[in-house]
Chains A and B, each alone.
Chain A
Amino acid sequence: MGKKLPNPRWTTIYGFMLPGILVYLFIVIVPLALSIHFSFYKWSGGLSKDFIGFHNYSQLLQDAKFWFSFRNNMIITLLSIIGQLGIAFVLAVILQAKWVKLRELHRTVLFLPVVLPAVVVGFIWNLIYSQNYGILNSLLKGLHLADWIRPWLDDPKIVIYSVTIPIIWQWIGLYLIIFMASIQSIPGEIYEGAEIDGATGFKKVIYITLPMMYDTLRVAIMLCIAGNMKIFDNIFVMTGGGPGNSSTVMAQYAYNTSFGKFQLGYGSAISIGMIVLSLGLILLSRRLMGGRSLES
């Protein structure tokens, strides 16, 4: 291509782009600026508002509950990277084989949870975990493993894992499809060459498929981090962050502080902290895995 249309007037271009830019300013940029502003105040939403400088931020740095919720985000992220990407990779490799039966059906079924609202996924898993009427416990009973039965969502020690499983369950399909597309784009000649050299199925996966998918894996890991830093809906409906704050994630903590205790100033500081931490992690992971842009 390379050809470009003659530019219309500057005012025409911005005239057309204006609605998009305005709605963006109003919904993203102005609130961000506002929350930076309010984060310097002690404010519970009323008329009185005390300027307290960086006090909210120094409180945030020492706030054990905030860092605990960040730790929960990190646990969920790590488990998701292992669970979602690991399972999705294995399934993608298998689904690539021509001899697998009902490939189309599997693909459609495995992707279905992705389109469900996270709230509904939370409710469905509440039912699965339910003490007396849940699939999980009746399955364990059926397998004569009744002593494995736990109060899945009420035991502070395991609740964080219980809320992670639905997240993994919901998103495997997305990574599966991403990986399948990536595997399909690996040229067949590479495999043929390897076969002549005597590589078998498993070796082909380790020495060809995995390295050729490096870029995709990188993108997938970043997606996983970005997605889990903002996890909220399903935990909100499953446990509300409880029991205590054992399954509280950052977004839930910001929500509780702002709308439960109505500390809007501190809630703003938490929001800013959350954005900084998430963007920081995303950029860091991008650095660590090689700096090329995503657009390749």
Chain B
Amino acid sequence: MNRKIAVAGVKSAANVLIAVFSLVSIFPILWVMYSSLKNQQEFSFNILSLPKSLHFDNYVTAFWDGKLYLYLWNSAFVSAISVVLTILIGFVSGYFLSRFSFRGRNVVYTMFLFGMLVPVYGLLVPLFIEYRNLHLLDHRLFLVLPEVTFALPLVIFLIESFMKSVPIEMEEAAYVDGANTVSTLFRIVFPICRPVLSTCIIISFLNIWNEFPFALILINSQELKTIPVGLTNFVGQYTINYPQLMAGINVSILPVIIVYLCLSKRIIQGMVAGAVKG
């Protein structure tokens, strides 16, 4: 009987422990979300209470006066182009690396893996110098290149390991029928890879949307900044008004949170597979 009570005690303690950690993970985010709807007085009166009346004007200010709409648009622009390029290049490279053994394959493979291992922040200064010498600074299109580069290894790896589980018969048949490489790649292999490709798209999008240091040093103009960098500007301007600040934070993470809540299973699987590889 005592043992039963002890077991029940351990079980409830474990349940409580997990609940506490979940709360610690989510509460700061929720706090920022609901506090963003208060006004300054209400917030300073009691920082933890729920808002009594909803002040959506914080969002209007953040979005228009704080120029977050501009930063969001820039991020959307850079992310969209980067994701498309990452997927195209990653898919093709991953396919060739998994299907064929050719001279130099291991060199190329190691080079891509090195990209996952090398501390990208060591490349900040060198890349800045290169961009400055070539006059590529301050162009959104050229910001795409480092974003693609650092999103690529994960995509290549996911495609490559997925292809290992795909039988080659269909491609074989296509080649025998005289199909060329491009149409085999995009008419036959691409559709087969659809599930893994969608994982790749989501994760690359998240990484590129969140990327900060390259966007920080390669872009100078206020009107070309992406959301993480723009947000630092915004916060600098509104340091005293906390609810205002929180509205800004929310605007910048809303796309990320929506994507996560809709596709959390995919994201978790993909990120874990990529992390373990790196």
Contacting chain B: which of A94-102, A145-153, A204-212? A94-102
Q: Would B96 and A264 count as touching, CB distance under 8 A?
A: no
A174 to B272, CA, bound (A): 7
Contact yes or no, A21 B22, CB < 8 A: no
Cα distance, A28 to B120, chains bound together (Å): 9
B52 at the interface (CB under 8 A from A): no
B84 at the interface (CB under 8 A from A): no
Enumerate chain A residues within 8 angstroms of B90, measured Cβ to Cβ: 20
Q: Are A94 and B18 in contact (CB under 8 A)?
A: yes
Contacts A87-B21, A117-B228 hold; do A32 and B123 have CB atoms under 8 A apart?
yes
The answer to whether A35 has its CB under 8 Å from any CB of chain B is: yes
Q: Which chain B residues numbered 108 to 128 have a C-beta less than 8 Å away from chain A?
A: 108, 111-112, 114-115, 117-128
Q: Is A267 positioned at the interface, with any CB of B under 8 Å from its CB? A: yes
Closest chain-B Cβ to A55's Cβ sits at a distance in Å of: 18
**Does B154 count as interface, using CB distance less than 8 angstroms?**
no
The verdict on B235 contacting chain A, using a C-beta distance below 8 Å, is yes
**Chain A: how many interface residues by the 8 Å CB criterion?**
102
Any A CB within 8 A of the CB of B129: yes
A143 close to B (CB within 8 Å):
no
B92 located at the interface, meaning its Cβ lies under 8 Å from any Cβ of chain A in the complex: yes
Q: Is A194 an interface residue (CB 8 A)?
A: no
> Contact between A271 and B124 (Cβ–Cβ < 8 Å)?
yes
> Chain B 1-37 against A: per-residue CB contact (8 Å), 1 yes, 0 no?
0000000001100110111011011111101100000
Q: Which residues on the B side are within 8 Å of A237 (C-beta)?
A: 232, 235
Q: Which B residues lie within 8 Å of A47 (CB)?
A: none
**A13 and B102 form a contact (CB under 8 A):** yes
- Least Cβ–Cβ distance between A172 and chain B, in angstroms: 7
B271: CB under 8 A from chain A? yes
A59: chain B residues within 8 A (beta carbon): none
How far apart sit A19 and B221, CA to CA, in the bound complex (Å)? 29
Query: Given the complex of chains A and B, what is the CA–CA distance between A105 and B27 in angstroms?
Result: 14
Fill in one digit per residue for A23-55: 1 if any B CB lies within 8 Å of its CB, else 0: 110111111101100100000010000000000
A119 at interface (Cβ–Cβ under 8 A)?
Answer: yes
| Contact A133-B44, Cβ < 8 Å, known A5-B171, A34-B126, A124-B29 | yes
A residues with CB within 8 A of B = 1, 3-8, 10, 12-14, 16-17, 19-21, 23-24, 26-32, 34-35, 38, 45, 87, 90-91, 94-95, 97, 99-101, 105-120, 123-125, 127-128, 130, 132-135, 138, 169, 172-174, 177-178, 181, 201, 216, 219, 223, 226, 229-230, 232-233, 236-237, 250-251, 254-255, 258-259, 264, 267-268, 270-272, 274-275, 278-279, 282, 294-295
Can you list 19 pairs linking A and B with CB atoms under 8 Å apart?
A5-B172, A16-B93, A16-B96, A20-B112, A27-B145, A28-B149, A94-B18, A109-B25, A110-B22, A113-B25, A127-B28, A127-B32, A133-B242, A226-B119, A230-B122, A251-B121, A271-B124, A278-B119, A278-B122
